[in-house]
Structure 1
Amino acid sequence: MKVIFSRDFVALILSVAVVGLGMGATLPLTALALTGAGYGTDIVGLLTAAQAGGGLAAVPLTGWVGARFSGRQVIVGAVLAVALATASMQVTTNLLVWAVLRVVCGFALMLLFTFGEAWVNQLADDASRARVIAIYATNFTLFQMAGPVLVSRIAPFAASRFLVCGAIFLLALPMLAAMRATRRAAGEPEPHGNWRHVLPQMPALVIGTGFFALFDTLALSLIPLFAMTHGFTASVAVLFASAMLLGDTTLQLPIGWLADHLGRERVHIGAAVVVVVLLALLRWAVAVPWLCWPLLYVLGGAAGAIYTLSLVACGERFRGAALVSASSLVGASWSVASFGGPLIAGALMQHVGNDALIGVLLASALAFLGAAVWERRRGAVRALQ
């Protein structure tokens, strides 16, 4: 665990924390600004899609970028791009320009997280990798959760609120300057670092990331509607999301410790089993308060572990350019699921009922569990050959 005391790791997680705070503030602030200007949820959704599209556009370019720039150069450039694009939203209200700026943010953030996750995986050793990644993920989540609190303070200041958000991102630069420059990802044969070569080696990790992106998005947006269907008031229903986010935030380090001592693959599959069982019980548990709230807490922690341990597995399986490509595929899976998942879940809830939300989450969790078991069996067969 010496890595957590290293200059590079401390600087990296602090800079990512600042980015998390900026993201957690900018996204809801954009929605508030649009609705305050009289635009509907369709426009808010389109701008969200624009950012997701920018992230997807970055995926095929990560190998090229990694071969030409160090990790620190990429992250610094991404921070500057996000800060400038966010601040520029203050000087215009043109929706087309805002859409372009959100595309720029999505593109830059995809590069930032791709290279940041690859970097933290390179800093970690195999003996403590799960705990190190858990610290990284928990740190980001905590500061992202603080973003909406910041919005409540700056939202009334219409003349400067986006400038403030843009300035927040710039606070990451001094910390990034303290980090040692990483080597470029060049030097490895291109086919082995290309995402087309990497993807067949990590189907379960891509599906697991997609599941958690879907879980994270729906927990914030639609789970309160499910709770209200079962008799909870709106003020209590929103606490369903809080309970799951609390579990996600506080349980990652203990689960990471388990993964380091019991084996990442075993704990990864175990987390999926817990998620499947708890989702199946949730519809009935909501009628029993003493059971419902602990269930939501553990569910959030187990769901978060599926994502955290997917990042850990990337570091176990890949190095160099291949690790960068794997991290970009994780980011792409997140973008696709967080954009398309709510559309599907929302449509099903509209036509089938709000309990359809649990069905969507359960189906995606089962998909990951099946892929993870298949990958483990495939690995066992290869070990015997």
Structure 2
Amino acid sequence: MKNLPWRDFIALVASIGVVGLGLGATIPLTALRLDQRGIGTDIIGVITAVSALGILAVTPFVSRWVTRHGARTCMIAAIIVGGLSTALMETTSDLFAWALLRFVFGACMGVLFTVGEAWVNHLAPGNARGRVVAMYTTAFTLFQLVGPALVAAVEDKITWAFAAAGALFLLALPGMALIRGDAQSDDEDEAQAPWRTVLPQMPMIAMGAAFFALFDTLALSLLPLYAMRQGIATELALLSATVVLAGDTVLQFPFGWLADRYGRRRVHTGCGIAVCVLLPVLPFAAGTAWLWWTVLLMLGAAAGAIYMLSIVACGQRFTGARLVAASAILNASWGVTSSGGPLVTGVLMHSVGINALPAVMWCGAATFVACAWWEYRRIP
């Protein structure tokens, strides 16, 4: 990793890490406040889905904005507006207003994810891409996992919780000021490359992002409620999302190293198979503390590696504006499943039973594995 520009990389990682902290606090805080008001899981799923729709809505425009205004300017604007939209949730309890603010918040996250992922791939040397991207995703999830724990610790002790969560985002601004360079080349012809030329080259990559979006959103928003319905105490149930994110954090670098050494596609598919094996164990693990935490830790590690390796694959296949477009498609995939996933899962948990949560997650993982098998047959 001698060719890695460490100053830019560390500044980018610090900035995106702070964003992860704010995101990790905001999602479970929203679900908890709605649950405390007696709102059902179906409505909580709708509010969560609206945020993902914001990611989806902004995706077609990110490449154009980056070309016109630059990556740094786009990220700074998204950080400020995202923090403001979170803080404004403190001023109202109207569900429609909350939905609108979550939509704006999701759009800002879409810009940050797209540009940040393209930028880290732009910085990463080819022979160490797995490890560099793993450090980036590890930092993000390390900060993100603190969010639910922070909510569990202070949610009954602080009055202006959403305002405090919004202020967290502003801490990312100093790091952005330290970054030099940009996330794409200045090639005008390349800058005009449409996403339609990129999408056919990344079916497995897009499905990996789609699965992790489903898994991550459900883990942060509905897993604590699932744990409470299984009889786990509220304080421990809120920590369930933290344990999932801890698993995601701890093993990302080893998975990145394995991908650099043994091949990204092999490790990528193996993680999908592992998730398919672990999820059916979840309903039976709730009654045994050590098994519950172990399964959540392993699920977080395998699911997180699926997304991390999707980012790695984008960097392997694309450069310049095509890389930004590929990252935008990655986040469009995220928006599609994380908008529909909580909505469908919340309704199913309400009408069919709480075990609809691991069932929906399993369907997403199985679809990823099937897509990987199809790509292997098509592209040897």
TM-score range, shorter chain: 0.7 to 0.9
Which amino acid is 1:378 matched to? R
Contact 2:71 2:183 in 1 (8 A): yes
Cα deviation per residue 1:134-153 (whole Å; 9 max; x = unaligned)?
A: 11111111211222344443
Contact 1:194 1:321 in 2 (8 A): no
Cα deviation per residue 1:338-384 (whole Å; 9 max; x = unaligned)?
A: 2211332344445554444333222221211111122223222xxxx
Match of 1:343 in 2: 343
The 1:325–1:278 alpha-carbon spacing in structure 2 relative to 1, beyond 3 Å, is: same
CA distance in 2, matches of 1:126, 1:266: 18
CA distance in 1, matches of 2:91, 2:376: 53
Match of 1:315 in 2: 315
Report the more deviating stretch, 5-14 or 347-356. 347-356
Match of 2:70 in 1: 70
RMSD after superposition: 3.2
CA distance in 2, matches of 1:122, 1:5: 10
The 1:156–1:44 alpha-carbon spacing in structure 2 relative to 1, beyond 3 Å, is: farther
Match of 1:148 in 2: 148
Q: TM-score, with normalisation over the residues of structure 1?
A: 0.85
Match of 1:217 in 2: 217
Report the more deviating stretch, 286-295 or 304-313. 286-295
Match of 1:109 in 2: 109
Cα deviation per residue 1:212-246 (whole Å; 9 max; x = unaligned)?
A: 122223334445676678x7644666665554333
The 1:43–1:326 alpha-carbon spacing in structure 2 relative to 1, beyond 3 Å, is: same
Cα deviation per residue 1:86-111 (whole Å; 9 max; x = unaligned)?
A: 34444555655544433322222211
Contact 2:191 2:321 in 1 (8 A): no
Q: Are positions 1:176 and 2:176 aligned together?
A: yes
The 1:243–1:53 alpha-carbon spacing in structure 2 relative to 1, beyond 3 Å, is: closer
Match of 2:364 in 1: 364
The 1:3–1:41 alpha-carbon spacing in structure 2 relative to 1, beyond 3 Å, is: farther
Q: Tell me, what secondary structure is at the counterpart of 1:128?
A: helix
Cα deviation per residue 1:281-334 (whole Å; 9 max; x = unaligned)?
A: 556666777766544432321111111101111111111111111111211222
| Structure index of larger Rg | 1
Shift of 1:168: 2.0
Contact 1:69 1:184 in 2 (8 A): no
The 1:15–1:277 alpha-carbon spacing in structure 2 relative to 1, beyond 3 Å, is: same
Which amino acid is 1:267 matched to? V
Alignment of 1:180-259 (within 5 A): 180-182=180-182, 187-189=187-189, 193-223=193-223, 233-234=232-233, 241-259=241-259
Contact 1:155 1:161 in 2 (8 A): no
Structure with the bigger RCO (C-alpha within 8 Å, sep 6+) is: 2
CA distance in 1, matches of 2:3, 2:142: 21
Report the more deviating stretch, 118-127 or 36-45. 36-45
The 1:297–1:324 alpha-carbon spacing in structure 2 relative to 1, beyond 3 Å, is: same
Shift of 1:12: 0.3
Match of 1:277 in 2: 277
Shift of 1:199: 1.5
Which consecutive residues of structure 1, in runs of 5 or more, have no partner in the other structure? 381-385
State how many pairs are aligned.
Answer: 378
The 1:246–1:157 alpha-carbon spacing in structure 2 relative to 1, beyond 3 Å, is: closer
Match of 2:9 in 1: 9
Alignment of 1:157-168 (within 5 A): 157-158=158-159, 160-168=160-168
Match of 1:324 in 2: 324
Q: Tell me, what secondary structure is at the counterpart of 2:181?
A: coil
Contact 1:271 1:305 in 2 (8 A): yes
Q: Are positions 1:19 and 2:38 aligned together?
A: no
CA distance in 2, matches of 1:239, 1:260: 32
Which consecutive residues of structure 2, in runs of 5 or more, have no partner in the other structure? none
Shift of 1:252: 0.9
Which amino acid is 1:335 matched to? G
Shift of 1:83: 2.7
Contact 1:4 1:10 in 2 (8 A): no
Q: TM-score, with normalisation over the residues of structure 2?
A: 0.86
Contact 2:19 2:169 in 1 (8 A): yes
Which amino acid is 1:187 matched to? D
Percent identity between the two aligned chains: 51
The 1:365–1:72 alpha-carbon spacing in structure 2 relative to 1, beyond 3 Å, is: same
The 1:154–1:171 alpha-carbon spacing in structure 2 relative to 1, beyond 3 Å, is: farther
Which amino acid is 1:174 matched to? P
Shift of 1:129: 0.9
CA distance in 2, matches of 1:292, 1:156: 28
Contact 2:31 2:221 in 1 (8 A): no
Q: Tell me, what secondary structure is at the counterpart of 2:126?
A: coil
Contact 1:3 1:9 in 2 (8 A): no
Report the more deviating stretch, 15-24 or 213-222. 213-222
Cα deviation per residue 1:3-39 (whole Å; 9 max; x = unaligned)?
A: 6671000000101111111222333444555566776
Q: Tell me, what secondary structure is at the counterpart of 1:193?
A: coil
Shift of 1:262: 0.7
Which amino acid is 2:116 matched to? G
The 1:29–1:115 alpha-carbon spacing in structure 2 relative to 1, beyond 3 Å, is: same
CA distance in 2, matches of 1:90, 1:281: 39
CA distance in 2, matches of 1:84, 1:226: 30
Cα deviation per residue 1:232-279 (whole Å; 9 max; x = unaligned)?
A: 644666665554333222111111111111111111111122222233
Which amino acid is 1:50 matched to? V
Match of 2:262 in 1: 262
Report the more deviating stretch, 316-325 or 240-249. 240-249
